[in-house]
Chain A
Amino acid sequence: MKITGFRHETYLMKMDRAISDCNQPEGVELLPGSILFIETDEDISGLGLGFGGEAIASLFSVIEGQDPREVLGLWMIMNDAVHKGGNEGAANAALSMIDVALWDIKAKIAGEPLWQTLGASEGRVKAYASGLDYCLSDEDLFVFYRRLAETGIDGGKLKVGLDFEADMRRIGIMQDALSIASDDPVLMIDANEYWSPKQAIRYVRRIEDKYKIEWVEEPARRWDYNGLRKVSQQVAASVATGENLNSIADFFPLISNGAVDVANVTTGHSGATGCRQIANMALGYGIPVSMMNAQANFMAHVAAALPNHSAMEVVDPGREHCLTFDNHIEDGFIVLGDSPGLGIEVDEKTLADLQANPPTGKGTFPLSRREGAGRYIVPPAAGEVPWRTGK
């Protein structure tokens, strides 16, 4: 079997609701997406999801004509190909998408769902809810976490960082909403690198006067292993970090310097292959990993086969306009079906409609960084978020 070609479709979608963090509290409604089809000389093609750009074409030339089943070997030659410029940015996004599409093909050839190809005994991954919710009103916040709690999810991760009193109130709302799924919901918070390490320590310690926090995510900058380690030492919560890194190479200084209690892993870590490398390194260090959210939850296939995986982030903002997928949430778990590969199909008509008539809306992903980050806190202005009114 040979890789013969590719088709890369970019499009813009409007999510069912806005998403945000404390860096850009008002949030964004529009999300650029892309779908990669890797074609073979047989009647099987592979699907990759993400935000790939022009780099796909140049990286594709490295794997053209190769056997797609040799996905780990192809990962290595792609990684070698981007050596000089670095496995980051556009190159990383392309590498990540291609790798996922190759795994999709490998599993389809075997006639298995990807979780089975990767060696899991069942396609079942514990889930936690994550609202990307700084832009949600208190009422919508409750509705979001309650909706997911109704599917059995008993953990939630709230965006925090700018307003201590509001954050405390909203942690309580999240806890209340999740309480139908558990008497002791798992509470997590995420500051998206807005704080300095010492700001994080002071802020989180105050939260911990009242709440038991499972982890605080990105309480300092993604590279700052001294700062992250310090936070880990001075708060009760675990430090979760890593989502904005590119590869295992970026994790090296963090993990070897004791700066990671929970490794957030994602398809952006150089695909399913790169993601698993990081999980294996974390395994040696006794560090659990947690999969970041993914469109149609496709990375749950990878998570299902990681020995040290804890729970996967479910955001569910409505990003599956042109996708149908064989998984659902049940009893707090993402349950993957038996469809071969990723179990995802593309609705070409909807895709073409989106391309022909791009939606309009407020703000486009990704989120930017907020004034004051790492130095001083700039609280939301009146009207910047629905829960901040008046002066």
Chain B
Amino acid sequence: MKITGVKNTAATDLCLVELQTDAGLSGIAIGPPEVGAATENLVDNILAGADPRAIMSLWQEMSRADARPEAIAAVDTALWDLKAKTNGEPLWKALGGMRPRANAYASVDDWSGEFAQFGFHECKLKLAADPETDLRRLGEIREALSARNREPVLMINARGAWAAADAITNVARMEEEFDLTWVEAPVDETDIQGLKQVSDQVFAAVCAGRHLHRAADYLPYVQSQALDVVQIDILRTGITGALQIADMAYGLELPVTLTASPGNLAAHVAAVMPNFMSIEVVHAGSTTGAITSDVRIEGGRALVGDEPGIGLTIDSGALK
């Protein structure tokens, strides 16, 4: 089997990437809307004519190219989709995982009743307003999750908005009332020393990494002990890169959390991460816009079926 080309369909908020082969099969991935040109370059310069099974070698070659990470990630994901489809297996099985029951958390700006039916007992609040509002919203989340008959797991995302000293003060204030599992991006995520300072001074874990794309990018963070929870965005790392980063995190005894992904397909990848902690869920339903996924959220976990490949079905008519 050989790769013959790529077809990109751009919509307002995403780009459907379809990697084509001479066997009639194609592998798909979802990237950010503007990723098309870069994937075309990668396919023209590196992938055209190659055997798509050589995922690791192609990943290496793409990594050496001067390409945006989201494009490499999309192509890598499409290659995995292709590999799994060729085997007639869902991605999680092609990767070597056991059927995922991936621990999931709801990621919200404010608690919404629509999440209730999915059984979450973990939730992350994106801080936005004044501290009083944030505290009130956290209280509402705790209240809503408490119905689950187990202690709620609460996290906050500070969006890099604070200076380290303010982060420490503000988190300490919240920790008087709430047991926080992690604080994400308490300072700008590139501020390694700031992250480390916060980790040293608050009780919650410091979580960051969604802006990074290769294992080596995490090195200064882990060497400085600036991260307590390693966050991976598979739309940036690809699946191959995510597995490398997860292995490194495992070696360092750091838990791994995966950021929100189209159709929550990160649940497949979670299955083969030895130190997997959670996946982020922004859209808990199986269909969002044009995307229908073989992942469903139930009892606060992401469960995956047996559809071959990454398990996403795209309604191209609904792509806007």
A interface vs B, CB < 8 Å?
A: 66-67, 69-77, 79, 106, 109-110, 112, 116-122, 248-249, 251-252, 255-256, 273, 276-278, 280-281, 283-286, 305-307
Contact = CB atoms under 8 A, between A and B. Distances in A.
A257 to B, nearest CB: 10
Interface of B: 50-51, 53-60, 86-87, 89, 93-99, 215-216, 218-219, 222-223, 240, 243-245, 247-248, 250-253, 271-272, 274
Contacts of B57: 119-122, 305
Given A277-B247, A278-B251, A285 B219 contact: yes
Contact of B97 (A73, A120, A305): A73
Given A70-B98, A121-B54, A249 B251 contact: yes
A176 B254 CA distance: 48
A73 B251 contact: no
Given A112-B53, A116-B54, A119-B59, A283 B98 contact: no
A120 B96 CA distance: 16
A249 to B, nearest CB: 7
A110 B88 CA distance: 10
Contact of A248 (B244, B251, B272): B251
Contacts of B86: 110
A332 B55 CA distance: 25
A256 B252 CA distance: 8
B87 A284 contact: no
Given A284-B248, A286-B216, A256 B223 contact: yes
A284 B54 contact: no
B56 A305 contact: yes
A73 B96 contact: yes
Nearest first, the 9 A-B pairs at minimum CB distance are A73-B98, A119-B56, A284-B215, A121-B57, A280-B247, A72-B96, A121-B54, A281-B251, A119-B55
A45 B96 CA distance: 17
Given A74-B98, A119-B59, A280-B243, A252 B54 contact: no
Contacts of A305: 56-57
Contacts of A284: 215-216, 218-219, 222, 244-245, 248
A110 B96 CA distance: 12
A33 B218 CA distance: 41
A305 B58 CA distance: 11
Contact of A281 (B55, B56, B240, B248): B248
Contact of B96 (A71, A116, A122, A307): A71
B57 to A, nearest CB: 3
Nearest to A102: B96
21 contacts: A70-B93, A70-B98, A72-B272, A73-B96, A74-B98, A76-B274, A110-B87, A119-B56, A120-B54, A121-B57, A121-B58, A248-B247, A248-B251, A249-B251, A276-B247, A278-B251, A283-B215, A284-B244, A284-B245, A307-B59, A307-B60
Most buried by A among B50, B55, B248: B248
Given A75-B274, A255-B251, 9 more contacts: A72-B95, A72-B271, A256-B222, A277-B247, A280-B243, A281-B215, A284-B216, A284-B219, A285-B216
A79 B252 CA distance: 16
A285 B240 CA distance: 17
A277 B253 CA distance: 13
B244 A283 contact: yes
Nearest to A250: B251
A252 B253 contact: yes
Contacts of B98: 66-67, 70, 73-74, 76-77
Contacts of B55: 119
A280 B244 contact: yes
B247 A67 contact: no
A306 B223 CA distance: 23
A116 B251 contact: no
A73 B240 CA distance: 17
Contacts of B271: 72-73
A99 B216 CA distance: 27
Nearest to A76: B274
Nearest to A281: B251
A276 B252 CA distance: 15
B309 to A, nearest CB: 15
A58 B188 CA distance: 50
Contacts of A278: 247, 251
Contact of A121 (B50, B89, B96, B253): B50
A273 B95 CA distance: 12
Contacts of B87: 109-110
A72 B97 contact: yes
B212 to A, nearest CB: 11
Most A CB contacts (10 A, CB to CB) among B55, B240, B271 go to: B55
B60 to A, nearest CB: 5
Nearest to A77: B98
Contacts of B272: 72-73
A251 B250 CA distance: 11
A278 B56 CA distance: 16
B215 A277 contact: no
Contact of A120 (B56, B250, B252): B56
Contacts of B94: 69
A122 B57 CA distance: 9
A223 B251 CA distance: 15
Contacts of B248: 280-281, 283-285
A66 to B, nearest CB: 7
Contacts of A248: 247, 250-251
B89 A69 contact: yes
A118 B57 CA distance: 10
A110 B99 CA distance: 19
Nearest to B219: A284
Contacts of A112: 53
Contact of A283 (B53, B216, B250): B216
Contacts of B216: 283-286
A286 B244 CA distance: 12
A255 B222 CA distance: 12
Residue of B60, B95, B96, B219 contacting most chain A CB atoms (<10 Å): B96
Contacts of A75: 274
A300 B306 CA distance: 32
A116 B87 CA distance: 13
A72 B92 CA distance: 10
Contacts of A71: 96
Contacts of B243: 280
A154 to B, nearest CB: 23
